[in-house]
Structures are given as C-alpha cells and as structure tokens.
Chain A
Amino acid sequence: MIVLVSLLALVALAAVPFFVGAYPLGLGIGILGYGVLATAWALFSGPTRYISLATVAFFGIGAYTVAVLADLMPYPLVLLCAALIGLVVAILVGLATLRLAGIYFVIFTFGLAELVRQLVTYYEVNVTRTLGRYVFLPIGPEHIYWQLLGLLAITLALAFWISRAKIGLALRVIGDDPVVASHLGIGITRTKLALFSLSAVVMTLAGAIQAPRWTYIEPSIVFNPTVSFLTVIMALLGGPNRLFGPLLGAVPLFLLFEWLSANFPNHYSIILGLLFIAIVFLLPNGVLAAWDKFAARLKNKEARA
C-alpha cells in the first residue's frame, strides 16, 4: 500500500514539468535539491547526532567536477566521477575523525568547505590559470528536475531501508550510547564511516546534477556556506530522525529563503540565523516530534474528560 502511494506520488511529481512554467519549475528544482541534501544529511547526522557542517564541501565538489569534466567525457561518466571523488574525500575525512568524539568531527567539517574552496582556488589560479568555468551541457531544467526527483526517491528509499536494516539499528545504538554499542560488538567506526560516505556521495551528486543550471561556476559560488547552513536548519525543522522530516523542513524553508533573498537581500542571513536559533530552542527534535507530542497531549485530555 505504502509502496503504491509512493509510486503514485512519484509519477505525479514527475509530471509537474509538463504543466508549469519556468519559474515554478525553478522553485521545484530548488526544493528537490535541498530536499535531497537535508535527507542525506539526516541519514548520517540524525541517528548518530554527529553534526556535519560540511554539506557544501561535497555539494561544491560535485558541481565543480561537472564543470571541469563536462567537455571531456559523457554525462553519466561525469556523474560517476563526481560520486567517486565525493566518496574518497568522505572516507578521508571519516577515517581522520570518526573514531574520535563527535566534537572533532564537527570542528573538522566546520572548516572543510573553506579548505576545499581555497585548495580549488589555489589550483585554478596557479595550475590551470582559469578562475571560473563555463558549463554548457544540453540539459534543460526539466531534466535536472527529473534527475533530482530520482535521486530524492533513491535517497528516501535508502533511508527507509537503513532504518529497517541492521545497520540502522546499529547506528541508533551508537547515537544513544557508544559504550553499549561497542559492548554489543558493533563496529562503531566502520558503521559511521559507511553511513557518512553514503550521505556524502548523495550530497555530491546533488551538486553535480544542479551544476548545469549555473552556466558559470567559480569556487565562491559553489562553496557558499549558506548551503550547509540551510541544510542543517531544514533537517532540524522537520526532524532529523523521521523519514520525511528533512523533506518537510526543506519545502517551507526553501520558499522562505527565496522570498527573503528577493525582498531582503542584505538581511536574509540575519533573519535565517535568528530563525535557526529559535528552532534549536523551541523544536529540539523537529516539528514532527513536537506535533506527535501535542497530539498525544490532546488525546490524554480527551481520555480524561
């Protein structure tokens, strides 16, 4: 039943580009893009509570790989290369930090985007001597929309499968109590590394798929820290421990962000920062958990009355 409903929803969403104009389609791409990022973020950070602040590092790696390789090889191969590069970076980062306490991971990811941005800039300035690249690919917005929709469906399916599978259970035990997890014989570092890499690959692909939309790409555009920030706030708003939570957070916040950047271009980071703090305060487990709590309270009241 659930499978049928999801398939119907997928088909309905896939038909959207035939009925709407360019601007709504752009919004759809944005929502799907952030939906993928937030879902992928929650895949790892939800159960383990390891807060990753490096979303844009992987997103940017994906976009940049497409910009560099688009002329050299066919598109599917470019996506594969992007995913591989994202995977390698994620494994390196994970190997260095995931065997330690969560705080080291947070700190490492906090500066990672800036590091990658500076390295790419250094490379482009000194070796290739071209800062800024053009992406000319025969890929229209509707194709990007479909690719993102497919990626989102795959990510959600993966998240669903993981929450049911052994590895998801292991991950939740690690998040609740690492000592218990190690006594149960769970390979803590290995499990975390696998999930972190998976989530990073999805983020890389999200960046790679959206690259043709920019046409012009340079490091300061694709490594914009706002992307990391928005991803975390969306996942937190919806609830990082629910399957559809991050996606649910992505829809209203992306629309809000669009509206803010159109109407208050200079102040949106202040407003979003304040909103972020408010979410951390008021909805520590996301809006879905808060709603469940509220519903339970209503039920209790009814039962007592």
Chain B
Amino acid sequence: MLFSAILTGLVLGGTYALIAMGLTLQYGVARIMNLAYGDLIIAGSFGAMLLFTAAGINPLLALFIVVPSGFALSWLIYALMLQPLARRSPNRDRLEGDSILATFGLLFVIQGVALVLFGANYQSYSFLAVPIDVFGTTIAANRLLAFALAVLFGTGLWLLLTRTRFGTVIRAVAANPGSAPLVGINVDHVARLAFALGGGLAAAGGVVVSMYLTFSATMGVVFTMKALIVVIMGGVGNLLGALAAGLILGVVETLVSSFIDPGLTLAATYLIFLAVLVVRPQGLFGKPAR
C-alpha cells in the first residue's frame, strides 16, 4: 500500500517537475511571472482530448500537434502582450508587477474561452488504462507512459540547456540580462524564445496530464500554483531543483490523499510552500539572497 502510493506519487511528481520546468524557463529567463500558465496546461489537455475523441489521434501523436501550438501561442502572447510591457518597464520589479497583472487578465480570457468551448464539467478520456505489474504493485500503463514522457522532456531540456550553444545563451540571459548584450546576445529575442519554449512545455504537460487525470476548465489556477511552488522550492531557474521538488510534491500529495483525505491535497501543497517560505525561501538548492 505504502509502496504503491509512493510509486503513484513519483509518477505524479514527474508531471509536476515537467510543468515546473516550463514555468522556470518563463520566469527565470523571460522574467515573466505567468499566472495564466496553468490555463495553458489545461488548454493542452483539452487539445489532446479533442484530437483523441473527435479525430481518434493517439495522445502521443497529438504531442506533435499540441506542443508546437503551445509554442506558437506563447510566442504570440509574448510578442503582442508582454514584450511591450518589458520594453516600457524601467526595472525588473515593475516588469514583474505588470506581467502579473497582464497574465492575470489573460488567465480569465483563456479560462473563459475554455468554458465557452467545453463547459465547466470534469473531462477525461480513456487511453492505455491497462494495469501493469511493477515490483509487485499494479499501476496503469498511462501513468507509466506519463512518467516516461516527463523524463524524456526533462532530459531533452537539460541537454538543450547544457550541451548546445542556444542553451548557453539562455543560461547567460538568466544569469545576467544586463551583461548578456555585451557578448552579442539579443536579450529580447532570447526572452521570447524562452517564453515560447516554456509554453511548449506547458502544452506537453497538458497532454501528459490529460492521459491519466481528470481535468476541468477552471483547474488552471491549481496547476499554476503547484508549478510555482515547485519552481520556488527548487530555486528559480534550477532544473534539477525543479525535478527534486516536483517529485517531493507528488509523493507528499499522494501520501496525503491516500492515507488522510483526498480533499486535503492542496492544503498539503500549501503546507510545503509555507515551510519553504519560512525555512528556505531561496529554494532547496538556491543560493541565499539573489
């Protein structure tokens, strides 16, 4: 029972880590605190569901449609809405405040569209819901697949950031946006790409979520919240930190929901957040004071 709960928790945590990676890219590189992030995840889930139920397209194949759409949509959002804000902001704090407000408005727009199109009910579809035996406990194949996808995307992103020239450029902007132009980096351009990349990851997270969880148009807030907590817990811009924090959150949530009460999972999330704020606001692996 305990082992099975931990296994389920690790699978859930993998998804949390995946969605947190996208958010840490958006916040760490583009300096945009995107409150509409979770609604983009839900949009990805609806996209996958629609492709599966209406067109019979396998969610794995749907990734090839949904992820580029999420990338393109985020690119557009950044170019139309956030870049003008970034240009007019005299400093980082002002941009943070303005981007919070603008994306808060965006949240209601995306959620409103989802409500009009799909209604407020919980949605799900059945894909690969066959039990598989893992070390003596059974787990649904779709959950294992979700975990594998999270690992795949996470490794891919990590390789991209550490092994390629583009990744180095992104990390340079994250480390010091003021000095990056001195070595010939176009910060505007990199920020937009990083934001779009984060949106692509959000959409991927949405597809993964839709494979094994029920979701609804108004659930975006919860996903944004969880992604934010994982990002802060792992340290802003820290991928491995996000991975560790995501897994911790997933395991704790699953333990709470299976041994205490499913209605208290968000409370558990908040308790972790509170502990992080009180003990280590810079994150598990962050350096003190930024």
List the interface of chain A (C-beta within 8 A of B). 49, 51, 53, 96-97, 100, 102-104, 106-108, 110-111, 114-115, 118-119, 121-122, 125-126, 225, 229, 232-233, 236, 266-270, 272-277, 280-281, 284
Contact = CB atoms under 8 A, between A and B. Distances in A.
A111 B107 contact: no
A55 to B, nearest CB: 12
Contacts of B229: 107
Nearest to A236: B101
Contacts, number: 113
A270 B116 contact: yes
Given A270-B113, A270-B116, A273-B112, A114 B104 contact: no
A211 to B, nearest CB: 23
A296 B279 CA distance: 50
Interface of B: 33, 35, 81, 84-85, 93, 96-98, 100-102, 104-113, 115-116, 221-222, 224-225, 228-229, 232, 261, 263-264, 266-267, 270, 273-274, 277-278, 281
A110 B224 contact: yes
A111 B272 CA distance: 13
Given A106-B100, A266-B115, A269-B108, 15 more contacts: A49-B97, A111-B222, A111-B224, A115-B267, A119-B264, A126-B263, A229-B108, A273-B106, A273-B109, A273-B112, A274-B105, A274-B109, A280-B98, A281-B84, A281-B102
Nearest to A178: B93
A118 B98 contact: no
Secondary structure dominating the interface of B: helix
B277 A100 contact: yes
A20 to B, nearest CB: 32
Contacts of A269: 108-109, 111-112, 115
Contact of A103 (B96, B109, B224, B266): B96
Contacts of A122: 261, 263-264, 267
A292 to B, nearest CB: 19
A249 to B, nearest CB: 14
A171 B61 CA distance: 54
Given A274-B105, A274-B109, A276-B104, A225 B267 contact: no
Contact of A96 (B97, B107, B267, B274): B274
A97 B232 CA distance: 13
Nearest to A50: B97
B39 to A, nearest CB: 10
